[in-house]
């Protein structure tokens, strides 16, 4: 539910309803589902092929989600992307890969091929995707030979088959590649998906899985281009999982990666660099930026990566504002501090300017890191775990109302224009993630902004809610005699 809809909802909540709801919530004890998610290792299917044959379109079609950027531009996919698919009574992990590229002396192409090779090595089944209307080309033959060395089960997926007149004959043409299992599909027209399902049903064990999300925390790694987002993730998971380099804009898709930190299951989202709108000149980059913004919505906590040599630029603050607006926890990560000569003076300057530049969230968590030197990277995760506790906190109504009484005794509400002092009578928590509260009183419209900030800061301090938004809405009390 977005913020506007939430505001409409709370406007319809009466004080009595809030009290009843609060009592129900406070007395609720969460039951444990005896049928927890299966720990079964799911089979892996990798989509492999030359650039622009439709692998990402097929990935989106089979996952049922628009996870990969799709366009006519060759070579859009640069990192491999994984997604758990539950398809009828079968379940598997589907992997989208960069298009195989035979360019010589091209470091980026070599890195992309290495990503594809890792996917092939880990796969149980390889879907070799080819362009049906184009027919067999020399590269297809080369890649078919390359795939055989992995000694995996291979299915030839003949894509873009929507205009095949005699489909059996056209499928037969691709027999020259030497794979007996061949399926004609059209990812863009949703043709041939039933045939893929039948193949998987015949070749994978049927697995009844109760889908239950076992992820404890989702962290989006966001920021401007070339600040070190992908490098930080690679160092965190201790694997060259994502393409890195000095070239800005290497990351295009938002890639989710699962890893375990101590006893927590963490999902990291690597995102494309977010530039100013006026500097975006092509639709591919716009798609990438849109995906980065969407990753903020998926996340619980956002780690905003800043270049320590040029921190807190206008675009950094714009991204921070977006994170706060979406109600996500916020961590500022000043990366590349190995390039800072006087780090103590640097930290002092940051401490002075932060409250002025980002006044809406107090006590913002700050991490000073160096991905190159592996310095303080785990602190990003530990701080995220700490902040998430406050972000998803549910506070008992008794504790909230005790706090409200104490807060008013410490500092009274200022007199209104009629020389009357508004009285705040009752508080209820509407939701968490982030914490959202309704305070009922006799003159809700007469609470000055300064006092609203006082209450928010006092509430943060009392219940240890740091580095995330706290939202308070004021409502007229139901009691007609309360004034």
Give yes or no for residue 380 having a pLDDT over 90.
yes
For 325-399, strand residue ranges (E) read: 329-335, 365-368
257 alpha-carbon distance from chain centroid: 10
pLDDT in tens, 215-231: 889 999 898 888 888 88
Q: In what order do the strands lie in the sheet with 81-87?
A: 81-87, 90-96, 44-48, 125-131, 153-159, 182-184
Give yes or no for residue 393 having a pLDDT over 50.
yes
Assigned token pair, 207: 């697995």
- Count of Cβ atoms closer than 10 Å to residue 85 Cβ: 18
**What is the model's pLDDT at position 448?**
94
User: What mean pLDDT comes out for the span 143-159?
Assistant: 91
Average pLDDT value over all residues in the chain:
79
- Most confidently modeled range among 32-41, 101-110, 170-179, 278-287: 170-179
d(CA 461, CA 363): 10
β-bridge mates for residue 217, sequence order? 266
| Long-range contacts from 72-75, C-beta under 8 angstroms, 24+ separation | 73/284, 74/99, 75/51, 75/99, 75/101, 75/112
Q: How confident is the model at residue 369 (pLDDT cuts 50, 70, 90)?
A: very high
User: What mean pLDDT comes out for the span 378-405?
Assistant: 95
β-bridge mates for residue 126, sequence order? 46, 154
State pTM to two decimals.
0.62
d(CA 467, CA 219): 14
Phi, psi of 165 (to 5 degrees): -80, -50
Half-sphere exposure of 164 (CA within 13 A, CB side): 25
User: So what CATH class is 392-483?
Assistant: alpha beta
User: So what CATH class is 44-203?
Assistant: alpha beta
pLDDT in tens, 239-260: 776 555 455 444 445 677 888 8
217-391 has which CATH code? 3.40.50.300
Torsional class of 376: left (φ above 0), alpha (ψ -120 to 50), beta (otherwise): left
- Domain(s) of CATH 3.30.300.20: residues in the chain: 392-483
d(CA 253, CA 270): 8
- Domain(s) of CATH 3.40.50.300: residues in the chain: 44-203, 217-391
For tokens 């006799």, the residue is: 442
Q: What distance, in Å, lies between the first and last C-alpha atoms of the chain?
A: 34
d(CA 212, CA 278): 42
Pairing relation of β-strands 471-476 and 436-441?
parallel
d(CA 444, CA 221): 39
pLDDT in tens, 67-90: 554 444 444 444 678 888 876 667
């Amino acid at each position: 539910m977005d913020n506007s809809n939430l505001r409409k909802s709370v406007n319809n909540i009466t004080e009595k309803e809030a009290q009843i709801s609060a009592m129900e919530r406070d007395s609720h004890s969460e039951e444990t589902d005896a049928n927890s998610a299966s720990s079964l290792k799911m089979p892996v299917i990798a989509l492999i092929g030359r650039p622009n044959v439709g692998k990402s379109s097929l990935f989106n079609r089979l996952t049922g989600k628009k996870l990969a950027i799709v366009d006519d531009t060759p070579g859009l996919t640069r990192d491999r992307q994984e997604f758990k698919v539950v398809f009828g009574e079968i379940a598997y992990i589907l992997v989208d890969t960069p298009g195989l590229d035979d360019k010589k002396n091209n470091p980026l192409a070599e890195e992309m091929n290495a990503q594809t090779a890792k996917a092939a090595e880990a796969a149980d089944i390889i879907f070799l995707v080819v362009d049906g209307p184009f027919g067999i080309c020399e590269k297809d033959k080369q890649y078919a030979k390359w795939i055989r060395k992995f000694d995996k089960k291979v299915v030839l997926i003949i894509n873009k088959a929507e205009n095949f007149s005699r489909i059996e004959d056209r499928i037969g043409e691709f027999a020259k590649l030497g794979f007996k299992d061949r399926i004609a599909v059209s990812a863009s027209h949703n043709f041939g998906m039933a045939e893929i399902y039948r193949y998987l049903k015949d070749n994978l064990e049927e697995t009844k899985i109760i889908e239950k999300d076992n992820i404890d925390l989702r962290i989006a790694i966001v920021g401007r281009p070339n600040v070190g987002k992908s490098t930080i993730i690679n160092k965190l998971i201790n694997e060259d999982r994502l393409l890195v380099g000095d070239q800005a804009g290497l990351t295009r898709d938002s890639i989710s990666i699962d890893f375990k930190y101590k006893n927590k299951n963490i999902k990291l989202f690597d995102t494309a660099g977010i530039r100013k709108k006026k500097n975006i000149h092509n639709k591919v980059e716009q798609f990438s930026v849109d995906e980065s913004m969407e990753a903020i919505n998926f996340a619980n906590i956002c780690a905003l990566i800043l270049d320590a040599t040029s921190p807190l630029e206008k675009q950094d603050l714009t991204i921070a504002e977006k994170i706060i607006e979406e109600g996500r926890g916020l961590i500022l990560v000043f990366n590349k501090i190995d390039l800072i000569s006087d780090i103590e003076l640097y930290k002092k300057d940051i401490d002075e300017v932060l409250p002025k530049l980002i006044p809406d969230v107090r006590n913002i968590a700050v991490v000073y890191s160096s991905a190159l030197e592996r310095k303080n990277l785990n602190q990003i995760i530990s701080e995220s775990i700490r902040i998430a506790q406050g972000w998803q906190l549910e506070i008992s109504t008794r504790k909230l109302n005790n706090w409200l009484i104490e807060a008013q005794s410490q500092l009274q509400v200022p007199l209104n224009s009629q020389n009357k002092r508004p009285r705040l009578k009752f508080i209820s928590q509407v939701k968490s993630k982030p914490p959202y509260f309704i305070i009922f009183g006799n003159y809700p419209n007469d609470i000055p902004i300064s006092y609203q900030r006082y209450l928010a800061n006092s509430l943060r301090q009392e219940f240890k809610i740091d580095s995330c938004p706290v939202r308070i809405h004021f409502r007229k009390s139901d009691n007609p005699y309360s004034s």
